[in-house]
Structure formats: C-alpha cells, structure tokens
Amino acid sequence: MSGPRDREGGAGARGGAGGHNLRRTSQLTQEEADAVRSAVAVSTRVDGVEPIGDGPMRSLAGGAGTRHLLVHDGSGRLLAYANIEAPGTPHAMVEAFVVPDARGRGIASALLHAATTEAGSQGRIWAHGDGVAARAVAERMDMDVRRELLQLSRPLTDPALPPSRMPEGISFRTFRDADEDELLRVNNAAFSWHPEQGGWTSGDFDEHRAQPWFDPDGIFLAFDEAQPGALLGFHWTKVHAARGDEPALGEVYVLGVDPGAQGRGLGSALTLVGLEHLRDQGLATVMLYVEGDNTAAVNTYTRLGFTRARADVAYGWSS
C-alpha cells in the first residue's frame, strides 16, 4: 500500500497479481534482494517517501519469520514487492509497493489481497505517507486505521537547541559492549507494550549492530551515580547517509527510560544530549517516529521544537 501516488484498481487472478507472475518465498536470492533495493530507491525518488521501512529492508538479507511476495512481468523484471512479517500471528505486518511505471494495472490490489491472505485476519498493512490512494485501497478492502505513527522533525541549528541540563545525580556516557544486557533490559521494560520495539533479544541487537550506520558513540546512556551499574535510560541516535541531492539526516532512533526512573527529567535530558551530538556532526535536521496516541511523548517533543512532517498508518480489519 506504499507510494502516495499509487492508484490501483481491480483484482488479479488467483496465484498471480494483475495477471503477472507472483512468487512467494521465505528466502530471497541475492539477485531478488538487489532488485527490491533498486526498486525501493526508484520509488523513493518518485514519491518522496520510502515505500517500506527499516525492518523489511533488513529482512531482505535473510532471517526467520518473514515472507516475501514478488511480482514479475514476462521478462522477469520486478514490478511489485510485499513483505509480510510474522505471518499468521496477531503481530503480522504487511508492507508493499508497486514500482512507479507499473502502477495503474491492478497490481497493488491483487498483491495486497495475496499478502493479507498470508498475514491472516489480524494482520496490518502499513501505508507510508498515508496518501489518498492508500486510503482508497484500504476502503476498498474494508479496512480502517488501527495505528498511526507520526514522523516529527526539527532543524538542529536554527532555531537553536534548548540548553541541555544534567539532572542531579545522573551521569551520561556512550555505549560499551558490556552495556548490552542493561540496554536490552531497559528497552524491553520501556517498550513492553510495543509490537516491534518490545521483547528484544541479543539477536535483535546483533542485527542492528551489523548495520553500516551503527555507531556506539551515538548511543547515550544515563546512570544513577549512586548505582553506577544500573542503567536508567538511553538515547540511540542514527545518521541516514546523504543520498543524491538529499543531505545526511539525523534520527532519534530509540529513546527509552526505565519505568522506575520516570519523573526525573531523563527523557528531555537524553533527547538533548543526542541532538547536540547530531548537531556537532554537522547535520542540519533531525527526525523521529512516535506513536500518534502517545500524547505525553508527542508533547515532550513538541516542547523541544519538533513539528509533524508526515504520518504512516497501519490499516487492518476490526476484530
């Protein structure tokens, strides 16, 4: 359902997608993965928004728990792709897109019907940017909004960042390998309710550590000086490399505070420490994602000068 300009109608034949070849697999070949990455880059340039998120992009390299649906024309050229995470479970998520020059042929609706069949009735379909076409497809499939993820952004230099203040009795430093267990503990406590961020294991962390953008000096940890071994919170920053005419972009990738440490001003303090780090690397802008119904977090970021840039929406069927 990705691509704000995707205008698709009609249903394809069973086993196909708009009359084209549909391949289903749990493991992409290297050639297939490279073709999806190239198609993502093209769609991003045309639509101004990435058609699939970080999780599906990482899954292209392999891993358990993901199904891939690929639509090809008669010559073998990739026309569309769908990624189904945790198919057949209550946490199933679908992200899909059609390459720009193949739109308008009935491929998107047929592909989404195939993907949601694999995902199950509790599955969700993400629409990045939530354009008019995505809402129209959701309406045709009798789906409604189940979740909204806001993208907020702000400049890093003008207006200037608010001055950072270290809460009394708290010390900050950057990540070391020995901190992994504590970081996972705080992450899972802070995001126990979150379908993607909660329940992380060492394997999840290792998957992120293997990414080219991973930088331990961009993960900031807060400790109580009276208990220096117990992590209170962390701010994991990320830098998106420059791409074409688009400059590098900073991100508040994960900000987590132990529920037992709430109320000590750690959220704002950690946020500003990370923003200063990104600013000092010469980045002009920073962005983040936050759940639309997380009013407290949205208010915190608004006070820090963030404004709404876009919304990604998960559509699904009512239980």
Better-scored residue on pLDDT, 130 or 108: 108
Answer yes or no: is 44 a known binding residue: no
Is pLDDT at 8 greater than 60 in this prediction? no
Asked if 181 and 113 sit in the same domain, the reply is: no
Answer yes or no: is 295 a known binding residue: yes
Answer yes or no: is 98 a known binding residue: yes
pLDDT in tens, 152-190: 999 999 999 998 888 999 999 999 999 999 999 999 999
Lowest mean pLDDT among 67-76, 138-147, 272-281: 138-147
Provide the pLDDT for residue 103: 92
Asked if 129 and 160 sit in the same domain, the reply is: no
Answer yes or no: is 250 a known binding residue: no
Domain boundary among 142, 166, 184: 142
First to last CA, the chain: 21
Q: Give the pLDDT mean for 253-269.
A: 94
Asked if 34 and 119 sit in the same domain, the reply is: yes
Answer yes or no: is 201 a known binding residue: no
Answer yes or no: is 298 a known binding residue: yes
pLDDT in tens, 210-249: 999 999 999 999 999 999 889 999 999 999 999 888 899 9
What's the pLDDT band for 3 if we cut at 50, 70, 90?
very low
Range of the domain at 234: 152-316
- Residue 3 domain flag: no
CA-based nearest residue to 299, from 271, 260, 259: 271
Better-scored residue on pLDDT, 18 or 58: 58
Answer yes or no: is 54 a known binding residue: yes
For residue 133, what are the contacts with CB-CB under 8 A and spacing of at least 6? 3, 4, 5, 6, 7, 8
Answer yes or no: is 253 a known binding residue: no
Asked if 179 and 229 sit in the same domain, the reply is: yes
Is pLDDT at 12 greater than 90 in this prediction? no
Asked if 131 and 258 sit in the same domain, the reply is: no
Answer yes or no: is 196 a known binding residue: yes
Answer yes or no: is 131 a known binding residue: no
Asked if 201 and 244 sit in the same domain, the reply is: yes
pLDDT in tens, 19-67: 789 999 999 999 999 999 999 999 999 998 999 999 999 999 998 899 9
Is pLDDT at 7 greater than 80 in this prediction? no
- Residue 11 domain flag: no
Answer yes or no: is 214 a known binding residue: no
Answer yes or no: is 301 a known binding residue: no
Answer yes or no: is 276 a known binding residue: no
Asked if 76 and 203 sit in the same domain, the reply is: no
CATH number at residue 40: 3.40.630.30
Q: How many CB atoms lie within 10 A of CB 202?
A: 11
Is pLDDT at 13 greater than 70 in this prediction? no
Structural contact between residues 115 and 84, judged by C-beta atoms closer than 8 angstroms: yes
What is each CA distance from 121 to 4, 17, 83, in whole angstroms?
25, 20, 16
Domain count, the chain: 2
Answer yes or no: is 88 a known binding residue: no
Asked if 174 and 118 sit in the same domain, the reply is: no
Answer yes or no: is 46 a known binding residue: no
Better-scored residue on pLDDT, 10 or 132: 132
Answer yes or no: is 10 a known binding residue: no
